[in-house]
Amino acid sequence: MSTDGNKKQFWKRNAAKVPGSIQHVYGAQHPPFDPLLHANLIKAGNKPPPTTPGKPKKATTFQEFESITSDAWDVGDDDDELLAMAAQNLNIEVVMETANKVIENHSKQQEKQRLDDTAELEHREEDTQEEAAEDEEEDGEEEDRLEDSNNPEVSFASQSSPYTDGRLVKSHSEAPIGSPKESAGEHAALHRQRSLPHRPPVIPLVARMADQNTSGTPAMTEREASRLDKFRQLLAGPNTDLDELRKLSWSGIPRQVRPITWKLLSGYLPANAERRESVLKRKRHEYFGFIQQYYDSRNDEHHQDTYRQIHIDIPRTNPLIPLFQQASVQEIFERILFIWAIRHPASGYVQGINDLVTPFFVVYVFEYIEEEVENFDVSSLQEEALRNIEADSFWCMSKLLDGIQDNYTFAQPGIQKKVKALEELVSRIDETVHRHMQHYEVEYLQFAFRWMNNLLMRELPLRCTIRLWDTYQAEPEGFSHFHLYVCAAFLVRWRKEILEEKDFQGLMLLLQNLPTMHWGNEEVSVLLAEAYRLKFAFADAPNHYKR
């Protein structure tokens, strides 16, 4: 089939999923996952995805990605501080050296981890043979004891209980059943399974990760505790130095101080500590004044379409996270989006803006709870706390949209310009990737429109978005200008996978469902380092490297 035929078939199949006149965001997933693996596993009850007759089965990119990210890379102690310093007005040599240090350190740690895993695997395989022989002897003695016993209840208990004669049976669910050889075989298989490199557990979609920067309350390292102390000292002063706060925040904000830090960096709260309480009280009162004044008009004829679109989009917002499926949370989002829409008639509500509420809402919920948020029941919060979270989320989202409102006005000119700029940037960064997509007639607007419209929120798990926004809040014009370089770094990050795809459909499916489900702070830090390097290499040099 020709490339044009593939394109028509691809868009026709996806367009068939569009209900009514609602414009669908193609390929949108919350959170992103490998559709060839994840969706079919859910539907088929953990059965492998079926293969097309006559065609060889492709190796899933998710499996390749998982093998790469199963290592435990730890950012060097000084890397993020150096990168945060570089975020200020240092010369380009310092910036490039610092960003390169973060990326090279990541590569070295990965290689070291692979060598360690190989050595450990060889060592465990040797131990497995010895342990299997010992288990065979022990299981033979156990079988003799069971045969000598005439009490069926004792025999049953010894087979069904995890404990037998005071020792823990190595099987996960029951004692070995069958001949000594079969038992020894099961033990050997179990030991072999345990000797394999450990697969990373499924990371919660929102909740805590390996450090305190996201959520939950894991034990902090000495370095993390030191960073938290720096934030607290800076925030405790009568007038917070916002420049210093941006420097400190660029490389990530501890969960405990993220709510107040985001409010300060967004301009919602003043730097003067004495004024903050009165400003919060006034702004929260003002927001609920808007609710009383305007929210009942959602059923008026000239607002019906806006409210209907919001009402349809809200359940689609992170549907795999139970928090956002609670009726009270959806009502909060509807109020926030409707009030914003009618107060900004130049753009009104546009699909994608609903996603931009979620990071603020999650961060401000953390101001009132210690546990993980993913399954948290917001009805357990006091009414005043919920009202505060709603108002604060509204104002901070409004501050964000003020800087990128041309993304959502008629014809969305801001996004059109950014997508064109991304295409030009990638053609200079990696001409091979650019020409590969040109060859198969993949237009940047077909996949990067969503990257700009939703600020990569549909490409990354929410925990990664929150970490990304720490830097966006700290970076001048982070949500507009710097985001372009993050998108460029993000695209080139998948260079290998892109070049392996040899048709339009394969490229589009990859670009709309990139395997980032297991991403965490480490991957985001490397992405930001590369984006920062690109910014200083290209931002002030429009003809640099141009051919």
For 152-198, what is each residue's pLDDT tens digit?
A: 333 333 333 333 333 333 333 333 333 333 444 444 444 434 333 33
Same domain, 531 and 437: yes
Q: Is the model more confident about 467 or about 147?
A: 467
Four-residue CA torsion sign, 390, 205, 210, 219: positive
Last residue of a domain, one of 371, 403, 435: 403
CA dihedral 406, 492, 425, 23 (to 10 degrees): -30
Same domain, 399 and 419: no
Last residue of a domain, one of 348, 370, 403: 403
Show Cβ contacts of residue 69 under 8 Å, excluding neighbours closer than 6 positions.
Answer: 200, 518, 519, 523
Same domain, 249 and 357: yes
- Domain CATH code at residue 478: 1.10.472.80
H/E segment holding residue 320? none
Is the Cβ–Cβ distance between 361 and 393 less than 8 Å? yes
State CA 371 to chain mean position distance. 19
Same domain, 399 and 417: no
Enclosing domain of residue 334: 222-403
Same domain, 388 and 335: yes
CB atoms within 10 A of CB 33: 21
Return the minimum-mean-pLDDT range out of 33-42, 221-230, 247-256, 311-320. 33-42
Return the minimum-mean-pLDDT range out of 77-86, 213-222, 412-421. 77-86
Same domain, 419 and 526: yes
Let me know if residue 63 belongs to a domain. Answer: no
Last residue of a domain, one of 378, 403, 428: 403
Q: 411 by DSSP, 3-state: which?
A: coil
Let me know if residue 482 belongs to a domain. Answer: yes
Select from 270, 215, 242, 260 the least CA-distant residue to 474. Answer: 242
Select from 289, 376, 279, 294 the least CA-distant residue to 337. Answer: 294
Q: How far is the C-alpha of 180 from the C-alpha of 171, rounded, in Å?
A: 14
Q: How far is the C-alpha of 1 from the C-alpha of 9, rounded, in Å?
A: 10
Same domain, 232 and 313: yes
Let me know if residue 148 belongs to a domain. Answer: no
Let me know if residue 236 belongs to a domain. Answer: yes
**Residue 146, pLDDT score:** 40
What does the pLDDT average to over 61-69? 44
CA dihedral 16, 22, 26, 27 (to 10 degrees): -90
Is the Cβ–Cβ distance between 429 and 492 less than 8 Å? yes
Strands 163-164 and 167-168: antiparallel
Residue appearing with tokens 């401000």: 364
Same domain, 249 and 386: yes
What tens digit of pLDDT does each residue of 275-329 get? 999 999 999 999 999 999 999 999 888 899 999 999 999 999 998 899 999 999 9
Give percent of the chain with pLDDT exceeding 90: 52
What tens digit of pLDDT does each residue of 397-434 get? 999 999 998 999 888 999 999 999 999 999 999 999 99
**Residue 149, pLDDT score:** 40
Select from 164, 87, 53 the least CA-distant residue to 482. Answer: 87
